[in-house]
Structure 1
Amino acid sequence: MIKQDFLLRLKEELELEATLEGSVELKELDEWDSMVTMVLIGFVSNEFDVILNPDDIKEMTTIDSLMSRIGMEKFN
């Protein structure tokens, strides 16, 4: 998946208002809560076959760190 497509899909799936870039701090998003976290886990699982666990969520700080956890090889 192209990074820009990923950012657009992520914004749509999580129903975010903010413009997403790699440096965006996930937990600083106004919409960030436990429901958004669950939607994120489902989105990543469905799209990339990657299971995020609670430790992953704690360690991920930015969109870039999310993409690294998914695997950069999955992005063109």
Structure 2
Amino acid sequence: MTKKEFFFNLKDELEVEANLDEHTMIKELDEWDSMTAMVLVGYVADNFNVTISAKDLDGITDIASLIKKIGEEKFD
């Protein structure tokens, strides 16, 4: 998956209206809440086989840090 595809798919999965990029502060999105966090965890697990813990979520600030957690090597 390319990063561009990731941004598009993540936007759709999280049902957010804003366009996403690496600088998007994920927890500042209007739609961010505990349910959105759970959807994010499921999306990452299903698409990248990476488990994100509650501690990991605390450390994720922007989408760049999410990509780093997933692993840069998993993107085309």
Q: What range is the shorter-chain TM-score in?
A: over 0.9
Q: Which runs of 5+ in 2 are unaligned?
A: none
Q: Residue by residue, what CA displacement relative to the aligned partner does 1:8-41 show, whole Å, maximum 9, x if unpaired?
A: 0000000000010100101110000000000000
The amino acid across from 1:25 in the alignment is: M
Partner of 1:58: 58
Partner of 1:35: 35
Partner of 1:12: 12
Q: Residue by residue, what CA displacement relative to the aligned partner does 1:37-72 show, whole Å, maximum 9, x if unpaired?
A: 000000000000000000110000000000000000
Q: Distance in 2 between matches of 1:26 and 1:7?
A: 12
Calculate the aligned-residue CA RMSD, in Å. Answer: 0.4
Q: Distance in 1 between matches of 2:6 and 2:25?
A: 16
Q: Which runs of 5+ in 1 are unaligned?
A: none
The amino acid across from 2:23 in the alignment is: S
Q: Distance in 1 between matches of 2:71 and 2:60?
A: 13
SS at match of 2:61: coil
Query: So what's the TM-score if we normalise by structure 1?
Result: 0.98
Identity fraction in percent: 49
Q: Distance in 2 between matches of 1:9 and 1:47?
A: 10
Partner of 1:3: 3
2:44 equivalent to 1:44: yes
